[in-house]
Structure 1
């Protein structure tokens, strides 16, 4: 397939950026992942949240803000649309009245996507969505390495007596054998807690925990070099909670924590995944009702584009 035959984002001179149908990067909307190399998929869900809701609107607003994105990455030279066939498959129909049914629907939707040789990039949605995604990913690829960017470890055993919620995702994933031993890194954890156990359980599982304090006032390029060496060969999943970023840059989220990562560090983390065997990724916890400027959704859209730019097989043009 030639470059001309591959899908391209709709340019601002073909249709004003405030016009047209809202898809991710104004790419074509498709009904099936057949023939695609990568696909954007919406995960509208917020009934797994514990504080401020609104992430059910996240996918739509990320798409709205993505109209500013263009096909060539000026910072890295990545030209993903030269070599990858990419589209937006729309949203998985979650159940707004039933969290467990929504989890089952997401897993089923991803299992159907992964019948094709495609890399899914998810638009969240609260962080509950990553558990069913990892179930489907592991069913295809086996246990995967994980890069998890977040203010919170999301390793609670339960929340209000429930085993499935946005704060239990990675404990369930570990218990279910979805994560590869010694190949999990959590970056940006911070804030107040109930006890040291809030982070130490992860360390006992062999996760590498990088608190936000270790990231202050420094570039994260060196850290990501270490992460690439640790994860090595084998499939890797990238899960990016927007609250890993300081609320000065990303206020539109449900559980903000002060003194987080900067938007520049966020780019360093995603760009630092270049060379890893990424088999999927997500950007979660954007809550538009608390994002009055749209800057949180704009950052989320950019991070998803950056994820696309580091997928295996992407052309680098200088």
Structure 2
């Protein structure tokens, strides 16, 4: 019995020794393969994914807010996080939006970023696009936090560019609640003067601070529903601005609309896409801002909660992710000098990360608009 068992083990060993060595072909989508038999002691870690620092679209990190006198690499388009959410009137959580959007972008990278629609790769074009990390903002005092964000925009937008033709970098801000757009508009005004705003949102956000918050204090009047009113008061925006995707109810039906008109806005309501289609919406937006410098602000709640549940003030009846991306891509040729994606609150997302994936793709579309019109 023992002899038979020993003979069986010897035969099995001989069979394994003479077995065919199977080599698997490279797997599509991976830039390098690790051959275990050759690199088990010295594994290749240069192409690792989903590890290390999480930057937007795996872009290089640059310490754009480095102290004066310290060398900072030149760049043309900066991704800047604004982790602020104490200006909300509903659910908080958008302070974690910048990190959430970066997580949603992990599958995006320059090496494999060629568009199936256009054949272009906006991350490998003329512009050097970098991630500057987040502006360090206090969460204990809104006034101080917004001054910190003002300063961060001032520093980043004044850095040297990689291009010899364009002297000021453009910034795409990752919010953060929508109050953060006010600092970005102040920054664009400093370099380019007043801009037209294309405002993708379900809410007007032009409410008078005396109506929304200001009855309590001046401090409370600066929030995510009043920042466009304040931007108008400060002379930061043209009277050729436009909302897109509006559907939320109003507190003063006539007064809110009159005030919105005073602030320089026209309105494209969410359901108008059923009448005019995507191409009709694009035409209205481009006609409204024609001949001006443009700032695009995307509140993720412009999307229906089915596509973007992770936001503080969700409103049903919004656009789909595909419709929004098609509209953004259709704005090619518009002179976009600044942009943001805001109100992403990852704690309310589902396990599939629907909202942060959508937001990351929106950011890529905004990069594309800047790259394709470098004026």
Q: What residue in structure 1 maps to residue 196 of structure 2? A: 145
Q: CA deviation at 1:120?
A: 0.5
- Are residues 247 and 114 of structure 1, via their aligned partners in 2, closer, same or farther at CA, if it must alter by over 3 Å? same
**Could you tell me whether the CA contact under 8 Å between 1:156 and 1:198 is conserved in 2?**
yes
Alpha-carbon spacing, 1:29–1:200, altered in 2? closer, same or farther (3 Å): same
Q: Which residue does 1:55 correspond to in 2? A: 94
Distance of 2:131 and 2:107 partners within structure 1: 16
- Partners of 1:12 and 1:218 lie apart in 2 by 43
Q: Does residue 256 in structure 1 map to residue 307 in structure 2?
A: no
- Work out whether 1:90 is the aligned partner of 2:126: no
Gaps of 5+ in 2: 1-29, 33-45, 65-71, 160-167, 215-219
Give the match for residue 154 of structure 1. Answer: 205
CA distance, structure 1, for counterparts of residue 86 and residue 268 of structure 2: 28
SS at match of 2:271: helix
Tell me the alpha carbon deviations over residues 146-199 of structure 1, each in whole angstroms, 9 at most, x when there is no partner. Answer: 100000011122233322011111000111110012x20100111222121333
TM-score, normalization by structure 2 = 0.77
- Equivalent residue number for residue 301 of structure 1: 360
- The Cα of 1:214 is off from its aligned counterpart by 1.1
In the TM superposition, residue 16 of structure 1 has moved relative to its aligned partner by: 4.4
Residue 287 of structure 2 is aligned to residue 224 of structure 1 = no
Secondary structure of the structure 1 residue equivalent to 2:101:
helix
Paired residues for 1:120-131 under 5 Å: 120-131=171-182
Higher RCO (CA-CA < 8 Å; seq separation 6+): 1
Partner in structure 1 of residue 3 of structure 2: none
Q: Which has the larger radius of gyration?
A: 2
Alignment coverage as a number of residue pairs: 304
Deviations 1:13-41 (CA, angstroms, capped at 9, x unpaired): 56443223100001111013752111111
Residue 219 of structure 1 deviates from its aligned partner by: 3.0
Pair 1:76-2:108 in alignment:
no
Instruction: Compare 190-199 and 36-45 and name the one that shifted more.
Output: 190-199
2:234 & 2:223 partners in 1: Cα distance?
15
Q: CA deviation at 1:217?
A: 6.5
- What do you get for the CA RMSD once the two structures are aligned? 1.9
SS state at 2:197 partner = strand
Aligned pair 1:31/2:63, yes or no? yes
Evaluate the alpha carbon distance shift between residue 53 and residue 273 of structure 1 in structure 2; reply closer, same or farther with a 3 A threshold. same
8 Å contact kept, 2:172–2:340: yes
